[in-house]
Chain A
């Protein structure tokens, strides 16, 4: 088993960057050709399938539920006029007008008790319209009749005319957006971008955590730690997973783009962000990377403290909840542009990527993003250093764990867990 005599002709000291690259290259290749990545690629399909199923079920429920209608008890000619007027208006205004069902055509001078008719009716009659075209009376539950009173008045007014008056033709001239709608539209874009960022980050940070725990289980971590600095190991792992996720996102984007091109007319156009779409996409990738690196470095620190998957789950739960709260915080801050809350959200490292991405959708200034990325990068460095320090402190020990005070003799130490 004797290799050739030692020589340094092919090698030298690895820089931290090269060392991280060695780890990243191995992890990237290993993950990319694993089942994990396949399932990762399929990941977005699950919410889409669930969403589609939920939508389908919702439609089914909606269709199976009959819409409430108004029962009409009026003199025959007036009742028919009301129904005609309602149908004429519905053609132009849509189906939001309540349906009218003639319950009884009264003879002139005949009277009926709407309350009694209401009590005696079953099905989907929610109110009774009685009286005359000049003085219609709506009988029913307070909320229902209040909601319908305007519609009924309009139908009655229309019914009083002999025929439906011709409506002038409105010429349509479209613009990209109206000034009034700009802020609201951009808020929607910002919220969409934030949500996408959050979901991706959570999914990937969890994966990097599993990866580290698996490595500890495989006992490889000591080989790595002996050869290269732990910071390089951590950075290698973080960037490998980032690379994998970018490949995944590129795949999804390609598939999504293809589908969009196929069904362009059917897909509603999204409001333009303040910085424009290309810059928002670029910033989205940057902030996704930073959000992932920040959360991933925290999860790596957790991985350094945990020895089993169960411990990882226990420790990562509070972080996940915290991240969820920060996401809500950033979402709330987005609705208060220029406020102190937005500033805090942009400065706090874990909410910063979300807040800044939302800002990009609403504010065209680019310089703050440079500062934000640098600020977040600084925190990534700090957290990786902290995580690797914790790892070296807490994991790489072979003696008794937790034995306080006076030292025990060997039998006690032999029981101690090794790495």
Chain B
């Protein structure tokens, strides 16, 4: 898949930086999905390197779930192309994929072990082996006591953990999580983050959708920012941050002087503090000018833009506001 001819110019135009040196677990070009006259996904391009943790970041309704469903073959795109683990037909590689949907669901009357084994069986894992692994996984994650309990007897959080274990019981090479952190308390969010990192370390590719930037920032090697059904950016997190110049925060004793000519025109003053974007020429010429102009530097820091700032710059204020509105879904405590 390296150097795939499908890695089109369109992807570059959309801002995606394609890693030609790594095989791709997922490659999608120009995915479009319309529902009754409404375009949910409008020409999405994705290139997910194998073995990476990849985040799809956007507010609810941006097209994340629809994109994931198209990648998984739950629904077919109206147009566009997708290739999952080297196959054009996602169901052909379903045995190597794990999927945790946003709306969790298990059979309430099933016992935890059986539920995990059943999810494995759907992915081609023999039931007997699935049961053996289910017991092992439940024990390892401190849920051994619940192995023979029905799902309806478990708390929501425990049922969610059972489903996560069921998503992984067949040891998939590609794991797709749709909003995996919603509904989890802080402790379990931390566990899940650790698990996702562990999966990637073991060579699996992890994709998750989220509207919580902090998760993406902590976990992801690469992100796709999705807004209004389009992907204005896809690539390494650092590349997204680099879209915004680093911010300089300067504190001076003097408030007036010739040194002020060295500051950019759009500088923002807050008492003795000056905030401005790091000039293209770098910090050293500026420092020299400040010292020569006797600005009396009390402190100076250069802050690299966060993913949130990058998101605002890339997706726009409206998307950022929509994202902010959903923040209540952050950890339950």
Contacts and interface: CB of A to CB of B under 8 A. Distances in A.
A10 to B, nearest CB: 5
Nearest to A11: B124
A175 interface: no
Contact of A402 (B36, B66, B161): B36
Contact of A3 (B76, B123, B133): B133
B269 interface: no
Interface centre among B75, B204, B318 (most CB of A within 10 A): B75
A111 interface: no
A227 B123 contact: yes
A13 B105 CA distance: 23
B103 A410 contact: no
Interface string A385-412: 0000000110011111111110111111
A228 B171 contact: no
A349 B69 CA distance: 35
A14 B94 contact: yes
A29 B136 CA distance: 24
B322 interface: yes
A3 B203 contact: no
Give the size category of A's interface with B: 35 or more
Given A1-B195, A222-B103, A396 B75 contact: yes
Given A7-B171, A12-B95, A410-B318, A30 B122 contact: no
Interface stretch (B9-17, B57-65, B238-246): B57-65
Interface in A297-339: none
Contact of B35 (A226, A228, A400, A405): A400
Nearest to B87: A13
B103 to A, nearest CB: 4
Interface residue SS majority, chain A: loop
Contact of A1 (B35, B63, B192, B203): B192
Contacts of A34: 109
A30 B122 CA distance: 16
B82 interface: no
A285 interface: no
B104 interface: yes
Contacts of A225: 74
Nearest to B322: A410
A401 B76 CA distance: 17
Contact of B126 (A6, A10, A412): A10
A397 B66 contact: yes
A229 interface: yes
Interface string B168-196: 11111100000000000000000110110
A8 B36 contact: no
Contacts of A226: 69, 72-74, 94, 97, 99, 101
B122 A399 contact: no
B329 to A, nearest CB: 12
Nearest to B198: A2
B118 interface: yes
Nearest to A408: B38
Interface string B87-128: 000011111110101111111111000000011011111100
A30 B223 CA distance: 41
Nearest to B61: A413
Given A12-B95, A218-B108, A410-B59, A223 B126 contact: no
Interface centre among A13, A219, A398, A404 (most CB of B within 10 A): A398
A85 B104 CA distance: 86
A404 B37 contact: yes
Nearest to B64: A398
B237 interface: no
A414 B74 contact: no
A294 B198 CA distance: 48
A405 B37 contact: yes
Contacts of A228: 91, 94, 122
A22 B124 CA distance: 9
A224 interface: yes
A6 B98 CA distance: 11
Given A1-B192, A398-B69, A407-B38, A12 B124 contact: yes
Given A6-B173, A404-B36, A397 B60 contact: no
A403 B72 CA distance: 25
B165 interface: yes
Contact of B204 (A6, A219, A414, A418): A6
A5 interface: yes
B11 to A, nearest CB: 23
B228 interface: yes
A26 interface: yes
A10 B129 contact: yes
A6 B192 contact: no
A227 B109 contact: no
B18 interface: no
A77 interface: no
Contacts of B63: 399
Interface string A221-264: 11111111100000000000000000000000000000000000
20 contacts: A2-B194, A4-B171, A6-B172, A6-B202, A10-B129, A218-B105, A218-B106, A218-B108, A222-B101, A226-B72, A226-B101, A396-B69, A396-B75, A398-B40, A404-B36, A409-B318, A410-B62, A410-B228, A410-B322, A413-B61
Given A5-B203, A6-B172, A22-B121, 9 more contacts: A13-B93, A13-B94, A19-B122, A396-B74, A400-B35, A410-B228, A412-B61, A413-B60, A418-B102
